[in-house]
Amino acid sequence: MQNRILNLGYVTGLDYQDPLLDPHAEFQRFKEHPFVARLLEGGRMIRYGAKTIAAGGFYAIPQFHGDGFLLVGDSAGFLNSQRLKGIHTAIKSGMLAAQAIFEALLVEDFSKQQLKRYRQLIRESWITRELRRVRNFHAAFKRGRWLGLANAGLQFITGGRSWGLFDRASLEPGHEALKKLKEYGYQGDRLEQRYGRLRFDGKLTFNKVTDVYHASVSHDEDQPAHLHVLDTEICATRCAEEYGNPCQRFCPAAVYEMVEDGGGKRRLQINFSNCVHCKTCDIMDPYQIINWVTPEGGGGPDYKGM
């Protein structure tokens, strides 16, 4: 908090099972907690944003060097998932990347072979030591809170070993954890009860469209959509029946909307100009048919003070 400004965030793991869970709605419910509500009383919202973070851990780090490129910080997965901190690793990886680039400039060689020096520098730095200590933290909670706390506690005293024994815990892509409506027990009226009591008062709680306005999103309305759905027929049939179209909920910006097509059926409408480029849809779609690509013209949210 600085200059009477309070930064408030909410993290939802994208390996949840409930097909009706809505991370944005969970954030609004969080603000209704008496302690949080008192902190926000009398204030007004000035900024909104949403972004996925690389919480997969040490074993989810991608190839972060190649011919002519290096990845640093969050894009390389250098996030401490236990502490949800990554600025320090981003700064350090940037410094090591600069060192590797300087050495490449001296020999005028920017090949993958030369730039593997960056990988060596990362492995020899405290970044690798820190991330290895928390390598299985996220995986610990895939069986629930209480078992997760016990597992995480054993990891804390054994240098990151799952259950204090195993060097590497098994972990699957997050979207594979999502259960179908029937598997989760949703039927009949229960489909409407998940957030039936949630109300948006425009002071403490806000709907997605209002929040998107405060993200200062800018796209050219006539540009090609940067969100590609490979088979929209699945959205109107299988996905609607099996999962209840979760894209309408896991998207924090009301980009995906099932609307009537005028013929008694429903179709997917993509409000791509709302997109805040969080990339949740690319990760959480249970059929993996949504592809996020770089928008034409570089449009998107204009985050300030976040």
Give the residue among 146, 129, 137 at the shortest CA–CA distance from 168. 137
Q: Confirm if 304 and 284 have CB atoms less than 8 A apart.
A: no
Q: Cβ contacts of residue 192 below 8 Å, gap of 6+? A: none
Tell how far CA 46 is from the center of its chain. Answer: 22
pLDDT of residue 210: 96
- Asked if residue 1 has pLDDT above 60, the reply is no
Please name the fold of domain 23-46+178-298.
Alpha-Beta Plaits (3.30.70)
pLDDT digits (tens, 9 = 90+) for 117-149: 999 999 999 999 999 999 999 999 988 889 999
* pLDDT confidence tier of residue 68, bands split at 50, 70 and 90: very high
pLDDT at 299: 84
Determine the average pLDDT of the residues in 97-125: 97
Enter the tokens of residue 132: 């290895």
Which run of H or E residues covers position 290? Answer: strand 290-292
| Average pLDDT across the chain, whole number | 92
* pLDDT grade for 191, boundaries at 50, 70 and 90: low
Burial 93-118 (b: 16+ CB within 10 A, else e): beebbeebeeebeeeeebeeebbebb
Helix (H, G, I), strand (E, B) or coil at 107: helix
Residue 77, pLDDT above cutoff 70:
yes
Q: Tens digits of per-residue pLDDT, 21-35?
A: 999 999 999 999 999
Query: Which of the pair, 117 or 304, is modelled with greater confidence?
Result: 117
Residue 84 has pLDDT above 60, yes or no: yes
The amino acid present at 66, given as its one-letter code, is G
For residue 2, what pLDDT is reported? 63
pLDDT digits (tens, 9 = 90+) for 6-15: 999 999 999 9
Domain range summary for the chain, segments of one domain joined by +:
23-46+178-298, 58-176
Task: Provide the pLDDT confidence category of residue 188 given band limits of 50, 70 and 90.
Answer: low
Average pLDDT over residues 30-48: 95
* Per-residue model confidence as pLDDT tens digits over 243-283: 999 999 999 999 999 999 888 889 999 999 999 999 999 99
User: From the centroid of its chain, how far is CA 90?
Assistant: 17
Is pLDDT above 90 for 223? no
Q: How far apart, in whole angstroms, are the C-alpha atoms of residue 9 and residue 198?
A: 19
> H helices within the chain, ranges in order?
23-31, 34-40, 87-107, 112-124, 126-133, 145-157, 181-184, 190-193, 208-213, 232-236, 238-242, 247-250, 280-284
Decide if 15 contacts 143 (C-beta within 8 A): no
Query: For residue 61, is it left (φ>0), alpha (ψ between -120 and 50) or beta?
Result: beta
Q: What pLDDT score was predicted for residue 222?
A: 81
Percent of the chain past pLDDT 70, that is, above it, reads: 98
Distance of alpha carbon 86 from alpha carbon 81, whole angstroms: 9
Has residue 39 got a pLDDT over 70? yes
Q: Which residues of 38-49 are buried (b: 16+ CB within 10 A; e: fewer)?
A: eeeeeeeeebbb
DSSP assignment of 250-273 equals: H-TT--EEEEE-SSS-EEEEE-GG
